[in-house]
Amino acid sequence: MEIAKHFKESAQQMQLDCAREYDVRDDVQANATEIMSQTKLYNIHLSDAFTWFEAREENSIHAIVTDPPYGLKEYTDIEKTKLRNGRGGVWRIPPSFDGCKRSPLPRFTILDDTDIAALCSFFTKFAKQAVRVLVPGSHVMIATNPLLSQYVYMSLLAAGFEKRGEIIRLVQTLRGGDRPKNAHEEFHDVSVMPRSAWEPWGLFRKPCEGRVQDNLRKWGTGGLRRVSGKNPFVDVIQSAPARREERKIAPHPSLKPQAFMRQLVRAALPLGRGTILDPFMGSGSTVAAAEAIGYVSIGIEKDSAYYSVARKAIPALARFTPNGANGRSGGALAAAERPKIDSYQKGGCIRREADCRPDRPISGASQCV
């Protein structure tokens, strides 16, 4: 009874906190600046992820869905400046084709031993912090790529996470398939690497307390939310690069489409309750997907330019209607528009239930901070 009373009071306090008017400063350089959505379901911080992690209480997050800076090098200040100036550096700027300006891609193959050691150190630090703030049974869905996934996965396993599989995003990219550099004509029929047509997302879980059913009752975590009563969430999802309309809303080199992100985010909370975290928010696609579905979420971004983009982009992305061909999973279309409360997945709409709201507390429910 005391535990139930505690979480009821926590949820009530969350609602009161979220109802406040926030004075958001114009200076986005201010550390840990926060902006609340009009629907009071998300907050975002201009902060270093690890600084935020250190201040966060244990067992207060119910899932992490994130697309981190894979090799770190591409997101250093020097390389981001080159990217924004269109000068490349570690970023490969593809040539325009038929008047279409294509998105830049990082050259992961140029990472040396020092870069890889830095990558391993980065993800080891991330994994240790993540396992601390997550409640038992929480899932981590983390984007990576076939060249570097092993380093990311080993760090998560060493921190105590269980590997639960991989989610395969079937997406045609411009990475790979090139002929030998400076010998294109001599070796015309040779590709150095296969053309990439998929993107792996590692799926990990913090160990449950006892049986999954016990963990679900106590923490609301331990499994993945089904697409419907008949259809489970599947680990192969047909997708496509983010379309031009989405990129206009959120210009970020690693933007993932809402049709894809909404499927991941929805599955991450098996009972539809709890808090989603994206510690490397970028332009806010994870937070926007959570907002579209009706989940509470937190986003962290240390780059002031991307944070400014996210402030404006999240509400627009949450309202965005994905292209019908942009994101199918097991034949079921991802949410095309923000569903109504008490609706369910039928004809492409993803269920949004009233109990997604913070007035239905579960253990570890966080306040708006």
Q: Which two tokens stand for residue 87?
A: 């000068």
- Distances in Å between the Cα of 350 and the Cα atoms of 42, 188, 220, 265 are 19, 47, 20, 11
Contact 280, 301 (CB under 8 A): yes
Which three-class secondary structure string do you get for the chain?
A: CHHHHHHHHHHHHHHHHHCCCCCCCCCCCCCCEEEECCCCCEEEEECCHHHHHHHCCCCCEEEEEECCCCCCHHHCHHHHHHHHCCCCCCEECCCCECCECCCCEECHHHCCHHHHHHHHHHHHHHHHHHHHHEEEEEEEEEECCCCCHHHHHHHHHHCCCEEEEEEEEECCCCCCCCCCCCCCCCCCCCCCCCCCCEEEEEEEECCCCCCHHHHHHHHCCCCCCCCCCCCCCCCEEECCCCCHHHHHHCCCCCCCCHHHHHHHHHHHCCCCCCEEEECCCCCCHHHHHHHHHCCEEEEEECCHHHHHHHHHHHHHHHHCCCCCCCCEECCEECCCCCCCECECCECCECCECHHHCCCCCCCCCCCCC
What pTM was estimated for this model as a whole?
A: 0.74
pLDDT at 193: 87
In 3D space, the residue among 58, 208, 64 whose CA is nearest the CA of residue 139 turns out to be 64
> How many CB atoms are closer than 10 A to CB 126?
24
First to last CA, the chain: 26
pLDDT at 322: 84
pLDDT at 145: 87
> How many CB atoms are closer than 10 A to CB 330?
15
pLDDT at 86: 55
Domain residue extents for the chain: 2-71+111-356
pLDDT at 81: 61
Q: How far apart are CA 311 and CA 25, in angstroms?
A: 12
Q: Is 156 exposed, middle or buried (0-12, 13-18, 19+ CB in 10 A)?
A: buried
Residue 296 has φ and ψ, to the nearest 5°, of: -75, 140
Q: How far apart are CA 224 and CA 168, in angstroms?
A: 16
Beta bridge partners of 142: 66, 202
**Could you say which of 2.40.30.10, 3.30.930.10, 3.40.50.150, 1.20.1530.20 is the CATH number of the domain covering 2-71+111-356?**
3.40.50.150
> How many CB atoms are closer than 10 A to CB 83?
19
pLDDT at 40: 61
Contact 40, 17 (CB under 8 A): no
**How far, in whole angstroms, is CA 361 from its chain's centroid?**
23
* pLDDT block averages, 10 residues each, the chain of length 369: 45 43 36 48 96 98 93 55 54 43 50 86 97 98 92 97 98 81 91 91 98 98 97 96 92 93 98 98 96 97 95 96 54 37 37 41 40
> How many CB atoms are closer than 10 A to CB 29?
11
In 3D space, the residue among 287, 362, 365 whose CA is nearest the CA of residue 37 turns out to be 287
